[in-house]
Amino acid sequence: MSAKLIVTLFYVQYIFITNCQEVAKFFRKDYDYIDSTKSFYKIHTIHRTWEDAKEMCDFEGTTLFYPYDEDEARAVINYWNQTQPFSWIFIGVSTPNVREVFETVDGLSISQVYDAWGRGEPNNAGGIEGCVVLRKDGTLNDDQCTKKLPFICKKTLSTLEWNMLCDLPDMGYEYNELGRCYKFHLNPRSWHDAFRICDAEQSYLAIINSDAEANVLVNITKNTPKDDVEDTNYLNGAVHLGFKFNHIWKTIKHESLRRSGYTKWGVGQPDGKGKETCGSMFFNGKLNDISCDQRCFFICEHEPAILTTEYDFRFGRPN
Ligand SMILES: [Ca+2]
Ligand SMILES: [Ca+2]
Ligand SMILES: [Ca+2]
Indicate the pTM of the whole model.
0.88
Q: Does pLDDT of 52 surpass 60?
A: yes
Kindly report, residue by residue over 249-290, the tens digit of the pLDDT: 999 999 999 999 999 999 999 999 989 999 999 999 999 999
Centre of ligand 1 from the C-alpha of residue 50, in Å: 15
141, pLDDT greater than 50: yes
**pLDDT confidence of residue 8:** 47
pLDDT at 292 over 60: yes
Q: Is the pLDDT confidence value at 315 over 60?
A: no
Polymer length in residues for the chain: 319
pLDDT tens track for 6-34 = 544 554 454 455 445 555 689 999 999 99
Residue 199: is its pLDDT beyond 70? yes
Ligand nearest 131 Cα, by number? Answer: 1
Report the percent of the chain where pLDDT is more than 70: 88
264: amino acid identity, one letter: K
State how far the Cα of 103 lies from the Cα of 118, in Å rounded to an integer. 17
Note the pLDDT of residue 31: 97
Integer Cα distance of 284 and 222 in angstroms: 9
**pLDDT reading at 248 higher than 60:** yes
Distance 269 CA to ligand 3 centre (A): 5
- Give the pLDDT of residue 191: 98
* DSSP codes of every residue in 153-194: EEEEGGG---BTTTTBS-TT-EE-TTS-EEEEEEEEE-HHHH
Report the distance separating Cα 57 and Cα 243, nearest Å: 26
Pairing outcome for strands 204-205 and 140-143: unpaired
Nearest by Cα to 281 from 196, 208, 229, 222: 208
Lowest mean pLDDT among 22-26, 52-56, 126-130: 22-26
| pLDDT value at residue 32 | 97
Per-residue confidence band for 183, with pLDDT thresholds at 50, 70 and 90: very high
d(CA 8, CA 3) in angstroms, rounded, equals 9
Average pLDDT over residues 162-181: 95
Q: How far is the CA of 31 from the centre of ligand 1 (A)?
A: 30
Ligand nearest to the CA of 241: 2
Q: How far is the CA of 43 from the centre of ligand 1 (A)?
A: 23
Work out the pLDDT band at 228, boundaries 50, 70, 90: confident
Q: Residue 23's pLDDT is what? A: 55
* Ligand 3 center–CA 160 separation, angstroms: 41
